[in-house]
Chain A
Amino acid sequence: MSTTPQIRPIAQRKNSLRPPTQLPTDLAPVAAINGICLSEPISEWMLDFTIDPTSPDFAKRWAETYRALRPNDTWLDLIEILPSLSGDLRISAAELWEAYQLRKPEPRLLMILPQLSENFRAWMKAKKIGANDLAPLLSLPESDDASQILAPLMPELQHLSRQDGVRALELWIELCLMDHPAEVMARQAVESATAWLERLKQLRCPRTAGQDQFSKSWLEQQSWPRGMKLKFQRQGDQSGIELKVTLRRPQDLTQLSKDLDQISQKLQQAPESLWPKSK
């Protein structure tokens, strides 16, 4: 930062970019650049960094100075101040993001974010949502009102972890784009947030979900040897049967061998989705 700061009376301030973030102390001046306070004034004085507005690299120096004074700002903080910078100051997202060494934001994302509700932005901030997490928003047609599309999702996001919330956002947008009616996608009164997320996944992959459900039900309907638990499992692209058995004494091993034979015979009659026939 090459500018020399000057202490000025706060009365000379031009504006402020954000509300106070620290407890006021009587003497601490507020940081400012060219008379613009970087937070709501909390003392009588500001420490003003002056940058020649006519210099060719004004925007770059402004952004670097801002970064030096507010090193912990996240991309969401930058999004909030961006509208105030792009007017008279003519500082664009590119300079600001470069100063913070962040990947340049998608111009379309910058257009969509202001349309989103306060609730959505609060969720983004609380869960430290990154720009990549919001990539599904870029698939919405420009004519669509993102805020309206996401409105039914908002209450549910509060009950989900960060990871599940991001997944729910993507599934919600994809299902909207696949013309699923919002009332079908919405959480039912009796449904937990986790069960609802699971249902969204099933709506998104109906063929696989249907087959998995069929296999699961078939396994549950069968009677298995005592002490054996067979459960249908999906892990990514693989699915199969989890078999749990507890051996309590060495003789159980002899019984296990017989039980496995019995299971094997039963699985020969299993539906193909559970146990595909070999060629």
Chain B
Amino acid sequence: MGWDFKEVKLKQSIRINTMNEKKSLVISRLESLGVDLEKIPFLKNGFWIKRSNFSVGATAEYLLGLYSIQEAASQIPATLFNKLENKIVLDSCASPGGKTVQLANLMNNSSVIIALELKKRKMFALTNQLERCRVKNSAVYNMDARKVSKLNMNFDCVLLDVPCSGNPVSDRQWFNRRTSEDILRNSRRQRQILTEAVTVTKNNGEIVYTTCSLEPEENEFNIDWAIKTLNVKVENINCYGKKGLTKIFGKKLHPSIEKCKRIWPDVTQGFFLCKLKKVAQK
């Protein structure tokens, strides 16, 4: 598909929460502690940890919510929306909350984010993160993303970082743990989540669909299905990554899927990104 498997050792990365402190001040505070930072070229507030003699997850600055530890590729999805201020936003599969905090940051902690998480045991990490980062504009529900219409709300922007099969970079045991049936099961669930998300999105609203899977069944095939089945079209995105695949396993997919981005594991983990727009029904 355009990538040969290789061992990738990820560098830890952080994202500065500029709603809580100026970026330059956080950088100088971390540097004064002896943390060696490297700007991630394709992210506005993202930095790789080049060297640190201690865990960056145990500094006063971290506990004060001045930055979050967030993998570089997963810092991209929230930045793909056009403009988030004054929008009603849905974060469908929110735990552990890194992207929810990032959305709050991009919204200047105003308006409303509805964050959903199905698993009760994951709610703790999510709410702990929101409290630590001083997020004020979120409401968290212990709810299946496939049932969000029960809230009777409509959203301007929907972030769908859907549960997926992951990839061998973030899970070393990936090849031992996954079967093709798992991938198909995930794909079916992702389509159900996507369908429900389109239902609750306002006309002309934006949906960002992402996975950290490299499997076409969970990415391009789902988007191809969505274009044909739901009232959506693929939008251009300008971010790090290669074009989405339009010819896979002998199948020819909708040409607009080229606008999606596929990030092959290298300086980040593997990732797939797609921005959809809900087309107004006639």
A binds B: no
Q: Which residues of B contact A (CB under 8 A)?
A: none
